[in-house]
């Protein structure tokens, strides 16, 4: 009789497990991102690791084009109720995403939907989290964060009689170094420029923040919607005047719009210095090796006598769309939370050059001597960590940011081509931006 009850119990247990398996339907999460090339492979690797270690949840990653593409495709998908659960949006889309009404802040997802009491909301590097923290809460999960650096070719420095361990620190230094690094042939034609720079609005923003200057009013849009552009002040005027003078002098290659031409000029040895994202450290280190050169990195220079504000993070973060069943939102939280773990953060950082976004990942990288062996990554961190904690370095947020950035880029082109003076070009651009801000803000009154 005892054996009978044991067998009966085992059958009941098997039946119970069978029912559980039937009811435990796999939850699928759609993840749209904008990482192409090598970085897409890293993203796919992370997703594969998550799927292998989380039975019951399947994340389907899809490269959906540029950040703008991801945003526009998501808006279209929301209308047809087919929106992905997670989308990667660049930092300048923050205000639009919050205003869109289609997202649930990640802090609400973790606390209210998943009811996760164990998650540490102070785990992030402060300058990174500060950008995405609006209205007292974290709206999106920091993911691929970066800042600009001064990159330079150490080998060219040595050839020009410059100390490769003493990069330029001021605008005045930058101009003098570029003069020495510029090489001309017997006919006077430039064969190597001292510097190059893409006409990319992000650099204008960063050079303003670095001088502790606000880009728009209402504390960069942090204490109220911005209504007036401030980028036409002394900080950006000083930088564009320097840029224009170096181009006119023939020591700075005007690489035009888009970052690819300037990157190629630096990698091919046609230019000795440039500003670029920290995400290019790995690419530039490997690229300069191919031409027999060594890479150096330094903080962004400042005008002499101007105190440093600091750089603001760029890159992108992960947003969650809200209209999904609760079990799918909970699974989404599990995926996002997993991405913040130290092991994943270090893997992401070491394979892409983007910052790890958590404090524990930075400590882990220090213990492995990664920064000692890769000092160019250390430069990026040190520059970020010395930034002042104020509204300027927190970075601007505004609803028309992409159009504002393009307007400033147009102004830069007008200055470099000699069509307008720096002050005139920036004043005209500021007037246009004021109208853009008013139009956008009118939608939310």
Q: How far apart are CA 352 and CA 205, in angstroms?
A: 24
Sign of CA dihedral 102, 107, 110, 113: negative
| Kind plus residue range of the DSSP H or E element containing 49 | helix 37-53
Q: What integer pLDDT is reported at residue 7 of this predicted model?
A: 46
pLDDT score of 2 more than 70: no
Q: How far apart are CA 234 and CA 122, in angstroms?
A: 36
| pLDDT, tens only, 296-330 | 999 999 999 999 999 999 889 999 999 899 999 99
- Token output for 431: 């007037």
> Domain 27-146+313-367 belongs to what topology?
D-Maltodextrin-Binding Protein; domain 2 (3.40.190)
More confident: 25 or 227 = 227
Fold match flag (27-146+313-367 vs 148-310+389-443): yes
| pLDDT, tens only, 217-251 | 999 999 999 999 999 999 999 999 999 999 999 99
Percent of the chain with pLDDT over 70: 95
Q: How far apart are CA 115 and CA 328, in angstroms?
A: 14
Q: Which residues contact 131 (CB under 8 A, 6 or more apart)?
A: 91, 94, 142, 312, 313, 394, 395
List 334's β-bridge partners, or say none.
Answer: none
List 153's β-bridge partners, or say none.
Answer: 295
Do 437 and 228 contact (CB within 8 A), yes or no? Answer: yes
Strands 314-320 and 86-90: antiparallel
Sign of CA dihedral 184, 185, 191, 192: negative
> 24 falls in which pLDDT band (50, 70, 90)?
low
Do 433 and 221 contact (CB within 8 A), yes or no? Answer: no
Do 422 and 231 contact (CB within 8 A), yes or no? Answer: no
Q: What architecture is the 148-310+389-443 domain classified under in CATH?
A: 3-Layer(aba) Sandwich (3.40)
Spell out the alpha helix ranges (H) of 268-339. 281-290, 326-339
Number of DSSP helices (H) and strands (E) in the chain, helices first = 21, 14
Q: Give the pLDDT mean for 194-214.
A: 97
| pLDDT, tens only, 51-76 | 999 999 999 999 998 887 888 888 78
Do 33 and 71 contact (CB within 8 A), yes or no? Answer: no
What share of residues in the chain are helix, strand, coil (percent, to 5)?
A: 55, 20, 30
Task: List the chain domain ranges.
Answer: 27-146+313-367, 148-310+389-443
Q: What integer pLDDT is reported at residue 140 of this predicted model?
A: 96
> 354 falls in which pLDDT band (50, 70, 90)?
confident
Q: How far apart are CA 82 and CA 17, in angstroms?
A: 33
pLDDT score of 106 more than 90: yes
pLDDT score of 20 more than 50: no
Half-sphere exposure of 210 (CA within 13 A, CB side): 26
């Amino acid at each position: 009789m005892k054996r009978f009850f044991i067998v009966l119990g085992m059958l009941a247990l098997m039946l119970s497990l069978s029912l559980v398996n039937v009811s435990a339907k796999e939850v699928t999460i759609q993840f749209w991102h904008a990482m192409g090339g090598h970085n897409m492979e890293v993203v796919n690797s992370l997703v594969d690791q998550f799927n292998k270690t989380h039975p019951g949840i399947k994340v389907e990653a899809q490269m959906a084009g540029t950040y703008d593409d991801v945003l526009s495709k998501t808006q279209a998908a929301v209308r047809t109720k087919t929106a992905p659960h997670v989308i990667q949006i660049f930092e300048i889309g923050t205000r639009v995403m919050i205003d869109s009404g289609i997202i649930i802040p990640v802090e609400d997802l973790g606390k209210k939907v998943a009811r996760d009491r164990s998650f540490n909301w102070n785990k992030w590097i402060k300058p990174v989290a500060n950008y995405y923290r609006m209205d007292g809460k974290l709206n999106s999960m920091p993911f691929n964060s970066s800042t600009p650096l001064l990159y330079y070719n150490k080998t060219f420095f040595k050839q020009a009689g410059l100390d490769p361990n003493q990069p330029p620190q001021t605008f005045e230094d930058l101009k003098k170094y570029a003069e020495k690094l510029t090489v001309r042939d017997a006919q006077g034609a430039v064969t190597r420029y001292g510097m190059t720079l893409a006409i990319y609005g992000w650099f204008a923003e960063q050079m303003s923040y670095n001088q502790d200057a606000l880009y728009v009013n209402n504390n960069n849009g942090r204490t109220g919607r911005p209504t007036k552009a401030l980028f036409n002040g002394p900080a950006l005027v000083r930088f564009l005047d320097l840029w224009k003078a170096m181009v006119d002098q023939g020591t700075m290659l005007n690489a035009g719009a888009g970052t690819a031409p300037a990157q190629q000029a630096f990698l091919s040895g046609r230019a000795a210095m440039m500003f670029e994202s920290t995400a290019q450290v790995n690419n530039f280190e490997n690229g300069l090796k191919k031409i027999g050169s060594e890479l150096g990195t330094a903080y962004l220079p400042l005008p002499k006598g101007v105190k440093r504000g600091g750089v603001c993070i760029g890159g992108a973060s992960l947003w969650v769309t809200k209209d999904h069943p609760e079990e799918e939102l909970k699974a989404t939280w599990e995926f996002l939370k997993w991405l913040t773990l130290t092991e994943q953060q270090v893997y992401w950082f070491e394979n892409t050059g983007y910052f790890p976004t958590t404090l524990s990942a930075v400590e882990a990288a220090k213990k492995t001597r990664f920064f000692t062996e890769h000092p160019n990554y250390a430069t990026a961190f040190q520059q970020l960590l010395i930034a002042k904690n104020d509204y300027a370095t927190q970075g601007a947020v505004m609803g028309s940011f992409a159009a504002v950035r393009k307007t400033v880029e147009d102004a830069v082109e007008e200055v470099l081509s000699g069509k307008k003076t720096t002050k005139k070009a920036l004043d005209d651009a500021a007037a246009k931006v004021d109208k853009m801000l008013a139009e956008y803000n009118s939608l939310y009154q």
